[in-house]
C-alpha cells in the first residue's frame, strides 16, 4: 500500500510538472484497482475471527489487531485517501492541517487550558487569520498591522477550494 500511494503521488507530481490538471483515466483505474486488490489481500491475510463462546467476564466489542484496524480504516476512507489523484488542489498529506492545530494544543498544555470559551475563540480566530495569511504568502506582521488598522487581508475567493 505504501508503494502504491507513493507511486500515485509521483504520477500526480509528474502530471503537475507537465501542466496537466488530472491524471489519465487509465492511470486512475489502475491505481484504484491496485488499491482494491491490496485491500482484498489484506482482508485475506488479516481475517477477523469471532471467538465463540465469548470468554467469561468479557463484554463489549472483540479486540482487533492493529493491522486489521488499519485495513478497515483504509477500506472505509478509500475515497478520501485517493482524492489527491482526482483533484490536484488536494494535498497528498495532512501535515499542514496538523501544523495548524499544533499551536492550540501547545497553548492548552502550557496553560492547562483556556480560561473561558470566549478566550479560546479569540485565540483560534487569531491563529486562523495568521495561518491564512501565511498560506497566501503575505507578511504576517504587515497583515496583523493592516487588520488592526481596519484593512484585514481577505483571500481571493477564486483560489479557495
Is the model more confident about 59 or about 118?
118
Could you write out the DSSP letters of every residue in 104-149? Answer: HHHHHHHHSS-SSHHHHHHHHHHHHHHHHHHHTT--HHHHHHHHHT
Grade residue 13 by pLDDT with cuts at 50, 70 and 90.
very high
Dump pLDDT digits (tens) for 52-75. Answer: 566 677 777 777 888 888 999 999
d(CA 35, CA 5): 9
pTM: 0.62
pLDDT for residue 52: 57
Angstrom CA distances, 74 to 4, 47, 53, 117, stand at: 13, 15, 30, 35
pLDDT for residue 74: 94
Q: Give the residue-averaged pLDDT of 117-137.
A: 86
Dump pLDDT digits (tens) for 144-160. Answer: 999 999 999 998 766 54
pLDDT for residue 49: 66
pLDDT for residue 11: 95
d(CA 46, CA 66): 10
**Chain centroid offset of residue 149 CA:** 35
| 31 neighbors 82 (Cβ within 8 angstroms) | yes
Grade residue 89 by pLDDT with cuts at 50, 70 and 90.
confident
Q: Give the residue-averaged pLDDT of 101-106.
A: 74
d(CA 158, CA 161): 8
Q: Using the predicted structure, report yes or no on whether residue 100 has a pLDDT greater than 80.
A: no
Mean pLDDT computed over every residue of the chain: 85
Of the candidates 37, 28, 134, which has an alpha carbon nearest to the alpha carbon of residue 84? 28
What proportion of the chain, given as a percentage, has pLDDT over 90?
Answer: 45
pLDDT for residue 88: 87
Q: Give the residue-averaged pLDDT of 37-56.
A: 80
Could you write out the DSSP letters of every residue in 52-112? Answer: SSPPTT--SSPP--HHHHHHHHHHHTHHHHHHHHH-TTS-SS-HHHHHHHHHHHHHHHHHS
Amino acid at each position: 500500500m505504501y508503494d502504491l500511494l507513493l507511486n500515485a503521488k509521483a504520477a500526480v507530481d509528474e502530471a503537475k510538472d507537465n501542466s496537466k490538471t488530472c491524471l489519465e483515466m487509465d492511470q486512475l483505474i489502475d491505481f484504484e484497482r491496485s488499491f482494491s486488490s491490496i485491500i482484498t489481500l489484506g482482508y485475506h491475510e488479516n481475517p477477523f475471527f469471532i471467538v465463540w463462546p465469548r470468554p467469561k467476564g468479557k463484554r463489549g466489542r472483540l479486540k482487533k489487531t492493529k493491522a486489521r484496524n488499519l485495513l478497515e480504516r483504509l477500506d472505509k476512507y478509500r475515497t478520501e485517501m485517493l482524492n489527491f489523484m482526482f483533484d490536484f488542489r488536494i494535498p497528498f498529506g495532512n501535515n499542514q492541517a496538523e501544523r495548524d492545530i499544533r499551536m492550540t494544543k501547545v497553548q492548552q498544555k502550557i496553560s492547562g487550558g483556556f480560561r473561558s470559551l470566549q478566550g479560546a475563540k479569540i485565540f483560534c480566530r487569531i491563529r486562523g487569520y495568521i495561518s491564512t495569511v501565511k498560506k497566501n504568502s503575505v507578511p504576517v506582521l504587515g497583515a496583523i498591522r493592516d487588520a488592526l488598522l481596519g484593512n484585514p487581508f481577505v483571500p481571493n475567493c477564486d483560489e479557495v477550494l
